[in-house]
Amino acid sequence: MSTPAHPTAAVAETASPGAETASPGKGALSPRRRWAVLAVILSADVLDLLDATITNIAAPTIADDLHGGEPLIQWLGAGYALALGVLLVVGGRLGDRYGRRRLFLIGITGFTLASIACGLAVTPASIVIARLLQGAFGALLIPQGFGILGSVFPRDQIGKAFSAFAPVMGISAVGGPIMAGFLIEADLAGLGWRSMFLINIVLGGLAILAAVKLLPKDTGDPATTVDGVGSGLLAAAMLGLIFGLIDGSANGWGLLPVLSVAGGAAFFGLFCRRQHTAAAPLIKPSLLRNRGFTSGLVLGVAFFAAVSGLLYVLSLYVQNGLGHPPLKTALGLTPVAVGIVIASIASYRLIGRLGRDLVLIGLLITLAGTGWLLVLVLSAGTSVGPWALVPPVLIIGLGMGTCFGTIYDVTIGDIAPEEAGSAGGSLSAVQQLANALGAAAVTTVYFNTLATGGQTRAVIWSLALVAAVTAVSCCLVRLLPRRARPQGHH
């Protein structure tokens, strides 16, 4: 599962100057056309966020229907975020090189076709491949949005345009799982869970038509370089790690999963070496020499992995442990998204004054909510009433929302202005990769314990792992820069 934080803004900073000058002048479009372009960009981001979150609710139903078992539940959450994270920075640079409009159209068309493939899948392998393709095309699509908006909106209006993203993404984060639960239970035309993906025939089709008609043409900058070797090494590393975790939890820790994890670690070492030798590395070596940046990178990986796994396990616990159907599960977990939205808005106003202290506050709130939930499960097991979950789940959402934007705002607080684009794109990609790794790692603990200790013990151990990782993250806060980068400069 992907956490609802969205990477578009940070990835947009990877745009090259040449790409922007190749775009039409900001006065070339009428005000009405500019806002129509914004609507197209928003629709694509909504599609991405909806499809990133729906499998959190639908995974048990899909796995049961396709007889995929525990591995399919894990891959449905990890596969999409894996492909998105590996290719996110590459997608931004391809847009710079070949034109953002062209990459946007390729991305939205491929995303729609991959959604159809998900809806028509008849085997576990086919839907996993389709989810990987969804994430890959999403990585081509999402980075183009803010770059396109920056080329058509005057500087004095761009802030107003960007401000539309927070409420729209918030509504989508709340509405996505609820829509998934409703469509599963409504069983429209006997399609069940498949309608969640096939609805993109309409939504994606409309977005494609609007993009063809409204998005301005641009030529890109052929001088922009793309590090395909580095991206390939990163993909091999993450695939090895995630496959090993999932296969090990499902089939036991024999030779194959151990070799897979070891191979993933080796490829990651090669990827790190590549960052020091490539002409245009995905992460600038100078960033890795910055203590505040590297500390924030480690903290972000740990926190986003932990909460991504937590949300997935929560859904499994409510459906498989408490016996609630998908729609009731989605409604029961809505306080998480509500808390994220509320805290994200409040944090935007507080980050300039509190700096890294706000990150610590968010981590402690998350830890408190996780601890409350742990005590609840310890005392009541699988007899927890639906209303009893609301307070701890809301608190977890408030903690997550406090951290989502502030961790990376603080992480880039003392980097050089010319490094901001690389830092922002790298951190956004790392967040998605952490989502994939967390979904695999925490659910591995859950399913391993489930096989021997039952539902209650599986949830307890999963929550304990999340709490431990969050507590360790608190210790890293003092290594971050004291202040966030001034708003409007990143």
Q: For residues 176 and 47, what is the distance between their CA atoms, to the nearest angstrom?
A: 9
Tokens of 278: 């490539």
Nearest to 239 by CA among 135, 90, 120: 135
Q: For residues 142 and 12, what is the distance between their CA atoms, to the nearest angstrom?
A: 9
The pLDDT of residue 15 is 39
Res. 485 pLDDT band, cuts 50 70 90: low
The pLDDT of residue 6 is 43
Res. 28 pLDDT band, cuts 50 70 90: low
Q: For residues 58 and 181, what is the distance between their CA atoms, to the nearest angstrom?
A: 7
456-469: pLDDT as tens digits? 999 999 999 999 99
Q: For residues 300 and 302, what is the distance between their CA atoms, to the nearest angstrom?
A: 5
The pLDDT of residue 111 is 96
The pLDDT of residue 281 is 84
Res. 9 pLDDT band, cuts 50 70 90: very low
Indicate the length of the chain as a whole number. 490
Helix (H) / strand (E) containing 221? none
Nearest to 478 by CA among 375, 356, 358: 356
Percent of the chain with pLDDT over 70: 93
Instruction: For CA atoms 473, 281, 240, 313, give the dihedral sign.
Output: positive
Map out the domains of the chain as residue ranges.
1-225, 227-279, 284-490
Q: What is the pTM of this model?
A: 0.86
Whether 160 contacts 34, CB under 8 Å: no
The pLDDT of residue 18 is 39
Tokens of 4: 């609802």
Average pLDDT over residues 11-22: 39
Average pLDDT over residues 187-194: 91
The pLDDT of residue 3 is 56
Q: For residues 448 and 458, what is the distance between their CA atoms, to the nearest angstrom?
A: 8
Average pLDDT over residues 133-155: 89
Whether 437 shows a pLDDT value over 80: the answer reads: yes
The pLDDT of residue 154 is 85
Q: Which CATH architecture has domain 1-225?
A: Up-down Bundle (1.20)
Average pLDDT over residues 240-268: 91
Eight-class DSSP state of 487? T
Whether 75 shows a pLDDT value over 80: the answer reads: yes
Q: For residues 133 and 325, what is the distance between their CA atoms, to the nearest angstrom?
A: 29
Please tell us whether the domain made up of 284-490 is placed in CATH 1.10.10.10: no
Res. 486 pLDDT band, cuts 50 70 90: low
Average pLDDT over residues 277-290: 83
The pLDDT of residue 291 is 87
Q: Please, what is the average pLDDT of the chain?
A: 87
Q: For residues 409 and 87, what is the distance between their CA atoms, to the nearest angstrom?
A: 22
122-131: long-range pairs with CB below 8 Å, 24+: 122/66, 123/66, 124/63, 124/66, 124/67, 124/68, 124/71, 124/72, 124/75, 127/62, 127/66, 127/68, 127/72, 127/76, 128/72, 128/75, 128/76, 128/79, 131/55, 131/75, 131/76, 131/79, 131/80, 131/83
Percent of the chain with pLDDT over 90: 49
Higher pLDDT, 32 or 108: 108
318-345: pLDDT as tens digits? 999 999 999 999 998 899 989 998 998 8
Nearest to 456 by CA among 355, 374, 338: 374
Ranges 95-109, 214-228, 392-406: which has the least confidence = 214-228
Tokens of 290: 């910055």
The pLDDT of residue 317 is 93
φ and ψ of 220, to 5 deg? 75, -175
355-392: pLDDT as tens digits? 899 999 999 999 999 999 999 999 998 888 878 999 99
The pLDDT of residue 1 is 46
φ and ψ of 452, to 5 deg? -115, -25
Say which amino acid occupies 222.
P
Whether 359 contacts 403, CB under 8 Å: yes
Tokens of 268: 């990651």
The pLDDT of residue 8 is 38
The pLDDT of residue 249 is 81
Whether 277 shows a pLDDT value over 90: the answer reads: no
Average pLDDT over residues 134-161: 87
Tokens of 145: 């949005």
HSE-up of 115 (CA within 13 Å, CB side)? 25
The pLDDT of residue 127 is 96
The pLDDT of residue 25 is 52
Eight-class DSSP state of 217? P
The pLDDT of residue 16 is 38
Higher pLDDT, 19 or 64: 64
Crossing angle for the helix pair 31-66 and 155-162, nearest 10 degrees?
30
Identical fold for domains 1-225 and 284-490, yes or no, is: yes
Whether 11 shows a pLDDT value over 80: the answer reads: no
The pLDDT of residue 5 is 46
